[in-house]
Amino acid sequence: MKTIDDLQVAGQRVFVRVDLNVPLDGETITDDGRIRAAVPTINKLLDRGARVIVASHLGRPKGAPDPQYSLAPVARRLGELLGKQVAFATDTVDESAQATVAALSDGEVALLENLRFNAGETSKDDAERGAFADRLATLADLYVGDGFGAVHRKHASVYDLPARLPHAAGELIAAELSVLKKLTEDVKRPYAVVLGGAKVSDKLGVIDHLLEKADRILIGGGMAYTFLKAQGHEVGGSLLQEDQVPAVQDYLRRAKERGVEFVLPVDVTAASEFPDLKTKAPANPQVIAADAIPADLQGLDIGPETRKLYASKLADAATVFWNGPMGVFEHPDFAEGTRAVAQALLDSPAFTVVGGGDSAAAVRILGFDENAFGHISTGGGASLEYLEGKTLPGLAALED
């Protein structure tokens, strides 16, 4: 796979596919981590005299313009981070995009409007997707793939466009791959994995693969209650995927056979209702045993004894991968489990990887120094699929 160091970019129009899919509250960006992650590649190209055309998706518009998903606020923030004006095209391939790109001089940068405003970006029809890629290709001379958070998608700007232009991987993708190889090849042991988040069904593939790789797997978040149910425990009103219980029971059996330690909560912080995440009103949390959650309560975080247990299981690890919060970290009454795992990673001498998505957001929202972790991924879904051993379309497209 070529990198941008292999491209002659001076005076060239370079299409850079990044991942600027940031959370917005109206026009306010609440977490700019993905924008900051895109800056090194853009700056490197600008310093070498390229005319940089930045492109990304944001949210899930229905293949047509939708003001709530406009990248205009992102253009402003990107300009602040780059320290220079970012020209903004109000469409993806039409009059504004063509005029904006034509006006660029060497060392200048433009951002196209949300790629998903065009139905061809995400189409499952190869011809429709290819037609959009053809139009994008007319805007540029070279292609750089740097949107790691989107490389697991077979989308026009990720998969089809690289085939139409000389291409290379950006700084972020190169860094992500370097880290992920440390989790799959010549792993330093003990290798501990912490998995959380809402649904166990989202993690089935990675759990299956990690049973061959990890030494211990710690489970938290909403998915923990399906594991507790699989062990025969009552989970009250907690999130439960009843249809996944047989699969989870099989994983627990296989883990025991292979000597992989599965660590589940011993206590949980629960409440009678899901908390109000807007007002952050007190939710009257209760700490109860994880194997006896009453019918009128739902578990919303791991409890204090589980926090201690998990910290002890991470203290001697040499490699740690964490994906998914331990509870409803957006509410102060249920943030301590996620905070404790983040702190345990910082206290551990291990090489630590935070696997993107909500885990990365939690690190920033809870006030941790991002630079203190070994690596914070920009792609939760992409990281998980890589660890599952899947071929990621956006990476395959960058291969020579």
Burial of 88-105, coded b for 16+ CB within 10 Å and e otherwise, reads bbbbbbeebbeebbeebe
Relative to beta strand 191-195, strand 13-17 is unpaired
Nearest to 247 by CA among 221, 216, 270, 226: 226
Q: Are 49 and 55 spatial neighbours (Cβ–Cβ below 8 Å)?
A: no
CB-based contacts of 290: which residues, under 8 Å, 6+ apart? 224, 228, 233, 264, 265, 266, 267, 268, 299, 303, 306
Q: Are 123 and 129 spatial neighbours (Cβ–Cβ below 8 Å)?
A: yes
Q: What is the dihedral of CA 124, 127, 130, 131, to 10 degrees?
A: -120
Q: Cα separations (Å) of 241 from 88, 162, 235, 245?
A: 44, 39, 11, 7
Q: Cα separations (Å) of 280 from 328, 331, 338?
A: 11, 6, 17
CA–CA separation, 51 and 12 (whole Å)? 6
Return the active site residues: 34, 199, 357, 381
The widest CA-to-CA distance across the chain, in whole angstroms, is: 67
| Residue 244 backbone dihedrals phi, psi, to 5 degrees | -95, -5
Q: What is the dihedral of CA 27, 28, 30, 32, to 10 degrees?
A: 80
| Token pair 């627990």: residue | 252
